[in-house]
Amino acid sequence: MVVQPPQPRTVPRNAQLTKADRRFARIMTAAAFFSLIVLSLIAFFLVYQSLPAIRDQGLINFLTGTEWDSKTTSDGTTTEDPVFGVAAMLWGTILIAIIAIVIGLPVSLGIAVFIVFIASARLATLLRNTIDFLAAIPSIVFGLWAISALTPVGKQWGEWLTNSLGFIPIFENNLGIWVGTPFIAGIVLAVMVTPIITSVSREVLGRTPPELINASQALGGTLWPTLRYVAFPFAKSGIVAATMLGLGRALGETVAVFYVLNLTYGKINWYQIVSPDGGSIASLIVAKFSEADPLEISALLGGGMVLFIITLIVNAISTTIARSTVKDM
């Protein structure tokens, strides 16, 4: 017998909602869109405001140039055309962020492993709270600590690195000055990204299923093999996401870096991390903004836009990875 199948129908999603539910849902929708609108407005503002400078300099020159000079003398007269290139500052930003991750990631993982797998419950709680507290310290305080306490020590460490490991190109220093180096700025940032990386890594390592840890122990696995073959593979993408979050903070940090880093224009310091030739877009903006003429302000906003785009990319990567981790679990 041939029968006609019944007509399928769907129930609209908000049919079950009460009036109050619907009003609440509208407010929540507005809040969700608000964040999108704010983000778009910031992006639009940055592009719009930086257009004069980018038109003046040309996009390629702006992105690849290393000089930053408004050519304005103290009495306010301009004799030559200003040059604004963001490349040295951009690479400097990335370089100190890399240093921060290279130092901060192993430390963070060590703390996370200790909290999850080694420490007693009481010590683990204490450490967790301490690390979270570290994340709450304002960056100006880190900056003051960095200039008054870290710089004198970091200078000696840098000097030691040049003297004993100077044959490795990254530890070269031809100036004999070890203050204001990317190395010191990187250490400050390492301290600042450690809480973020630690708490996310702790969270994902702590989610290693106990039955997998049991399985490893029953096969004769002690702490290190269990970490290496069971816990780290399980937590891998979470740790990568944590690192990206840390990187995001390191790229955008302003005040702490501004206090300890010497900004050098005219060349890109590709790798000499204990040489006092640094760059940081955020610090550049702080250093130049107060005395800038309209064109330079536009150029500084262009720098801000570059930084904005890079942090957006890093965050996008980290959320993508974090999302795929959630899917795996």
Closer residue to another protein (CB): 12 or 220: 220
Kindly report the number of other CB atoms within 10 A of residue 114's CB atom: 15
Q: Quote the least distance from Cβ 227 to another protein, whole Å.
A: 11
Nearer to another protein (CB atom), residue 226 or residue 272: 226
Q: How far is the CB of 201 from another protein (least distance, A)?
A: 17
Q: Closest approach of Cβ 285 to another protein, in Å?
A: 44
Residue 229 or 265: the one with the smaller Cβ distance to another protein is 229
Instruction: Using the minimum distance from each CB to another protein, give the nearer residue, 30 or 219.
Output: 219
Closest CA to 170 of 282, 277, 284: 277
Q: How far is the CB of 214 from another protein (least distance, A)?
A: 6
In the numeric block, which tokens belong to residue 28?
Answer: 């929540």
Asked if residue 87 lies in contact with residue 65, where contact means CB atoms within 8 angstroms, the answer is yes
Minimum CB–partner distance for residue 196 and another protein (Å): 25
List residues near another protein by CB under 8 A. Answer: 120-121, 209, 211-212, 214-222, 225-226, 229-230, 233-234, 236, 328
Q: Which C-beta is closer to another protein: that of 58 or that of 209?
A: 209
Q: How far apart are CA 168 and CA 173, in angstroms?
A: 11
For residue 127, the minimal CB distance to another protein (Å) is 17
Q: Which is nearer to another protein, 37 or 215 (CB)?
A: 215
Strand positions, DSSP E, the chain: 68-69, 83-84
298, 285 Cβ separation under 8 angstroms? no
d(CA 5, CA 226): 56
